[in-house]
Amino acid sequence: MKALVEFLREGDTELLPMIEAYISSQARIQGTENPSGGLADGSGLGEPKFMADETPFAGPWGRPQRDGPALRATAMIDFGWWLLSQGHHEVANAMVWPIVRNDLSYVTQYWNHSGGFDIWEEIQGRSFFTLAVSHRALVEGSIFAGSLGRSCYECVSQAAQIRCLMQSFWTGRFIRSNLDSSRSGKDAATLLAVTHTFNPLAECDDVTFQPCSARALANHRRIMDTFRDVYDINADRGQDEAVAVGRYPEDVYFGGNPWFLCTLAAAEQLYDALYQWGRLDSIEVNSVSLPFFQALHSSTVPGTYSSSSETYHQLVDAVRTYADGFLRIVQNYAWNNGSLSEQFSRYNGSHLSANDLAWSYATLLSVSRRRSAIAPPPWGNSGSPSVPLTCSATAVPGTYSSVTITSWPAIGGLPTSAPEPCQPPASVSVTFEVTAGTAWGEDIRVLGSTEALGNWNPARGLPLHADRYTAEQPLWYGTIRLTAGHKFEYKYIRLKDGQVSWERGANRQVEVPDLTMNSVEYMPHVRTRIREKGIDFTNHFVTTALCCPSRVTLWTGRQAHNTNVTDVSPPFGGYPKFVSQGFNEDWFSVWLQEAGYNTFYVGKLFNSHSVETYNDPFVKGFNGSDFLLDPFTYSYWNSTYQRNHEPPKSYAGHYTTDVTEEKALGFLDDALEDTSRPFFLTVAPIAPHFDQQPDRPAGTPPQAPVPAPRHAHLFPDARVPRVPSFNPVHQSGASWIKELALQNQSVVDYEDFFYRQRLRSLQGVDELVDKLISRLEESGQIDNTYVIYSSDNGFHIGHHRLPPGKTTSYEEDIRVPFFVRGPGIRPNQTENRVTTHVDFAPTIFELLGLPLRDDFDGTPMRIAKNSSAVAHEHVTVEYWGTAVLEGNYAKLSPSHTHRMPNTTYKSARIVSEQYNLFYTVWCNNDHELYDLKTDPYEMNNIYTSAPQTLLNRLDALLLVLKSCAGVTCIKPWAELHPDGSVESLSDALSPKYDSFYESLPKVSYSVCEDGYIVVAEGPQWGDFEVAGSGSDARKLF
């Protein structure tokens, strides 16, 4: 059941009725008298066996079995977390919690009784597996109770005592399975305990025996060595090879054979460990774990190996190969139809005992997910918990009550609720934690030099919570939202009966961190050598949040609907479409050559510029070029480049950013040597783009970027900034985005990893920038050269519950950096006026003294002193076709792929001192409207509540922009008001124009298409006659 709930939390809602039926059944069974007892004292909850009709099994059996209540509780708690994530607090509180509470009460009352049977239902006494899962249930139960506004103090106190007793099972070399047994104690039940209590936040904690802990790894080695010599089918298998694993070496049941369950558990622990090492970016080897590592890599010595070291990668490869070996054993002995029995013969691998054992299948599903680096949701806090100095054989009598579930309420998406209050710009959650032992009736508060902390007034300070308080860790905590960048001082106080005791010592000081996705803050050379040396265009946007269409717009000065290159591959995009549209003869590099410039290009040009299309025809307009070619463009260690008109050349085994750097420096030297002509050099490394291998299986989502080994250890604590739009509890958006489920902790952890990989991969780009500018300085040409830094699209990670990717018109995807330094530009300038990639080509023309082309859809950016820039407040954003989702959790589409159809839309972004709006019409005719003045993270769609007069103006503006060309794109209001009376939205909002805007058709689609097909895009501005506002009636176009 726990595996099914995990799939539900990943989005498989078809499992919901089955899970509800299971919980309803548990409610009934809890109240059923059985051979173990009843509900009055909870004893009946330890009964291990019921018939399919829910009647108790009356025959002889190993009873009670005390792991059952703990395992049931954790499965139902997982379901409760899902309910809370979907907004169904009352269902979790009134229906799930009472059943969970009974099972938790059983654990707190009976955990220290020695009269229970172990996982195999054979030995009475204290079992490591039972204690480990009981500890998890109590820890997670306490946290779950707190989320419901309840408490489970006995959960906290007894969890600490269980944790203390668990240490007694460690022998110094392995984990003893049972304390009260004459067996060796080496038992696969300990592997199952380790995997069942894997907490991704606990790192490699020895106290809770986490999968990558030294104790758990040493135990794994000892158990494998035990079974290596027991079974004939393991003969001749070396220490670095996987073996078939049974329950314990003394087993005689059915002759004592390997179990599929146990063999899979051996693999699962290793995949769990690999996940944690990847998350921690390091592997620690100490004297306890050394035998495990040396068995796989004989030269290993104690130490900490960062992910930038060769040893780290050798160990990871060895462990992964070792883990895969267990799966190969299962694959080898599974039946041809994939069926798995309970056991397989120790002599020849034939199936024995029960056929189609559910536990075997559930473990196989779990192992498959762990092998794909899909970790389970965390169940406790980070780090290592404390252990009491002395263990106490305590117990807390439980409180039990019968539960009746007659029916479940409809659960399908988020319940209707009022919109979340708008968050102020740059608002950050700040948590205060302090350990302070207190007497009964004594409270702890935080006071500080800010309004949220009472401005030092004890009566108005922030009260802290104590629901996680224990004698061993008297923790008080509380969370508030504060403005990013705000500095303040604070202190803790004790408050009892109106008396205040102040914390001793100087005031504590803190500056609230600034939450931004701005990766440039991690690129010191870009920041100090370009941005701070020139102009930062702070409101710069792309007009299509996808690489190929955005690049064609950049190099032609035209909106995507005018280039008709709208995708990354044919028939609607890519290099072949660029050629068929006639641009190879008529684009930026050709124009600059005609103006007397030498032109050079290194790196990615366009998608679908491949080893098959590079010479059909060759790209025109360059004196020197070295292009990355598909399908190797996005392979960080297996790239292919094509220089000038030469054949493609593979650079397999070379890091692609370093290759780009070397080639760029070479072309820069070529350009500097020719003093008779000026030059234009473009350097386009792929980082931080996703990684995609050319031989990947079809349908594999793009993976996280790959940093150079020298950067792989950097930023271990970096996380995606937790802005309000990051994995929000209450979803906003439109079309398929508003249906996305809340992401669980495994997804969030992966997104943090993806974020770190982007930052790390950018370090190579930052080094490239540094070397290029240094070369310009050495040549004496730096003061004669404009240096520009930008990107072809933005990026989201977890925002609006989206997996990593781009393609939306939300702020994260369309706002990009744009920095310029060069002749006549003063350092440390900022320009807040709206600019876009459509403005790039006109800007370069103006800087070079070239006349602007009539077909430019943009206007120069204000760089030159006498710039002809036309101020505008609007941005046209457009997209067609499919959204490509990235990473391990990207398969969210209806067909379970990473490509989300029907992502066609038109948007208008309007930015001025008075307003900051974002308006979108989707191809399914959903609408979005956000006021970014009050809602900077686009969380409150106000389309249905906005004044119709405003909506009419936005529709009219978008109607013009969605098919504009040339000056129409620059001055759209002049199309609507040819007399010049309106130049902005503010002008257009005059009431005298109400009837005019009401009369205009509204933007809509007739069908969702994957490319720019005009007939699918509803009314067009040129298709009808309108009565001008105060001017004569006219026919447009």
CB atoms within 10 A of CB 571: 11
Compute the distance between CA of residue 1016 and CA of residue 1010 in angstroms, rounded to an integer. 10
Residue 446 parent element (H or E): strand 443-448
Task: State yes or no: is 284 an active-site residue.
Answer: no
1001 residue type, one letter: P
CA distances (Å), origin 205, targets 154, 189, 307, 329, 915: 24, 19, 19, 30, 51
Compute the distance between CA of residue 266 and CA of residue 326 in angstroms, rounded to an integer. 7
Main-chain phi, psi angles of 483, to 5 degrees: -70, 130
CA distances (Å), origin 183, targets 187, 250, 943: 9, 7, 70
Compute the distance between CA of residue 38 and CA of residue 690 in angstroms, rounded to an integer. 57
Give the torsion sign (CA, 985, 986, 992, 994).
positive
CB atoms within 10 A of CB 383: 10
Main-chain phi, psi angles of 137, to 5 degrees: -60, -40
Main-chain phi, psi angles of 911, to 5 degrees: -130, 125
Give the torsion sign (CA, 376, 381, 383, 384).
negative
Contacts of 124 (CB under 8 A, 6+ apart): 62, 114, 115, 116, 117, 118, 180
Q: Which of the following is catalytic: 121, 451, 616, 855?
A: 121
Burial grade of 652 (CB within 10 A; 0-12, 13-18, 19 or more): exposed
CA dihedral angle for residue 707, residue 712, residue 715, residue 719, rounded to 10 degrees:
60
Q: Write 20-24 long-range contacts (CB < 8 A, 24+).
A: 20/408, 23/76, 23/79, 23/95, 23/96, 23/99, 23/405, 24/405, 24/408
699 residue type, one letter: G
Please state at what angle helix 67-85 crosses helix 2-9, rounded to 10 degrees.
10
Compute the distance between CA of residue 628 and CA of residue 685 in angstroms, rounded to an integer. 9
The 3-class SS string of 27-40 reads: HHHHCCCECCECCC
User: Three-state DSSP class for 231?
Assistant: coil
Angle at 730 between CA 146 and CA 82, to 5 degrees: 50
Task: State yes or no: is 673 an active-site residue.
Answer: no
Compute the distance between CA of residue 379 and CA of residue 362 in angstroms, rounded to an integer. 20
Q: Which of the following is catalytic: 10, 47, 103, 118?
A: 118
Q: Quick one: DSSP state of residue 92?
A: I
* 493, two tokens: 């106080």
Burial grade of 947 (CB within 10 A; 0-12, 13-18, 19 or more): exposed
Burial grade of 1015 (CB within 10 A; 0-12, 13-18, 19 or more): exposed
Burial grade of 994 (CB within 10 A; 0-12, 13-18, 19 or more): middle
SS3 content of the chain, % helix, strand, coil (to 5): 35, 15, 50
Contacts of 1034 (CB under 8 A, 6+ apart): 978, 1025, 1026, 1028
Contacts of 236 (CB under 8 A, 6+ apart): none
Q: Which of 790, 701, 710 is nearest to 754 (CA)?
A: 701
DSSP string, 921-935: EETT--EEEEETTT-
The catalytic residues are 118, 121
